[in-house]
Amino acid sequence: MKLKTFAMLLITCCILLAVVLLVSRPQKTADQSAVMGARLLDRLAVGEIAALTVTSPEATTGLKQTDAGWIVANRFDYPADFSKVVELVQKLSDAKIGRTFPASPEIQARLSLYPPEQPEPPAEQKGTRIVLADADGKTLADLIIGKPREESAGAGSGSYVLQPPENQVYLVDQDFRLLDKKPGDWLNKKPIDLNPKRIQKVVCFDTRRNRPIYTLARPAEDREPVLSGLPKGKMTAKLKADQVFEALTSLTVEDVADHGRKDTAARFNGAPRFDYHLYDGTVYHVFAGAVLKDDPEKHYFRAEVGYLPHPEKADPVQPENQVNPAQEAEKQNIKISPWTYVISKWVYDSFITDPQNLIEKEDKK
């Protein structure tokens, strides 16, 4: 072959190669840009979500939407913290893709992306599975959340995600590090919403001897509570009195032990009762009970709500636009009384039973 002919062939090959590169490169860039920055769940029908399941290697939480609101199905259908449901759905809906790469077994193990229900891998190699479904049980989204992205210079937070049955890992811009994974984490932990200024007095009652132990009462609505029967020259310990008054109003429960059971007397047998009397006649009867057998830092707790009008005056006629306290008390009792709650020892200790602890101690010099 002549040198001139060989040179022409070489030039032709180079031109063809350049054409191929020019044609293929824009297509590759377009495909990449279609993924980068796109929403992971761009077709998620948020308005159709009626059930949510969070499964980790340690626990499973089932949440459902009912006519009364969202409930935790595997916690006796106790009301869920709706704000947490909204927050999780919002984060999933907003999640944008940073990059993608194939999910090899080694990568799944390293990024904790194995399904949590899969028995073989160790727990540290498993992720948290989130399944969103509609009212008919149809799956709207199925994700396994793995490890968070390691933050380094110039790199923001994010998480590694896998969508079964795809064999593709997505790095998204949302951080799921604080995702709640236990049923108790999803409960509405403030079943009682009460302003302490509405409380007129608190009576600690001895249920064994059927008599009051002490009474803390406000002399007037704008006054601090005072312990009844104070020894001469003694004063009510303000911080301790406030602790008792606010024990109910700042109450946060840890979990629920049951709903509607009648065989729970041992949990509260002999426990003092605290009667919180409000100015409108509403009375909260609360019991801080026995310690849990499997957790000495937790106690049982339950509450009932009643109505006791002040004897010195008849019930005033309520305007049409004002809540009737008797009816509201009945409504709150239906909502609260069936449940046996679990509270922390810290909350339990706020229900002070010894009146001596409510008397200001003298400074020792």
User: For 153-168, what is each residue's pLDDT tens digit?
Assistant: 455 689 999 999 999 9
Amino acid at residue number 261? R
Give the tens place of pLDDT for each residue, 66-106. 999 999 999 999 999 999 999 999 999 999 999 999 999 99
For residue 247, give every residue at least 6 positions away whose Cβ sits within 8 Å of its Cβ, in sequence order, or none: 274, 347, 350, 351
- 272 and 204 in contact (C-beta within 8 Å)? yes
Q: Note the pTM of the prediction, 2 decimals.
A: 0.81
What percent of the chain clears pLDDT 90, i.e. is strictly above it? Answer: 76
Predicted local confidence at residue 35, as pLDDT: 75
The dihedrals phi and psi of 273, each to the nearest 5 degrees, come to -110, 140
Count of residues in the chain: 365
55 burial class (0-12, 13-18, 19+ CB within 10 angstroms)? buried
Predicted local confidence at residue 219, as pLDDT: 93
Q: List, edge to edge, every strand of the sheet that includes 339-344.
A: 226-227, 211-217, 199-206, 273-278, 282-292, 295-307, 339-344, 255-259
**pLDDT classification of 363: cutoffs 50, 70, 90:** low
Rounded Cα distance between 92 and 85, Å, is 11
The owner of tokens 């010195």 is 312
Give the tens place of pLDDT for each residue, 108-133. 999 999 999 999 999 999 999 999 99
- 252 and 191 in contact (C-beta within 8 Å)? no
pLDDT of 29 strictly over 50? no
Find the farthest-apart pair of alpha carbons in the chain and give their distance in angstroms, rounded: 124
Among 2-11, 154-163, 286-295, the least confident range: 2-11
pLDDT of 317 strictly over 60? no
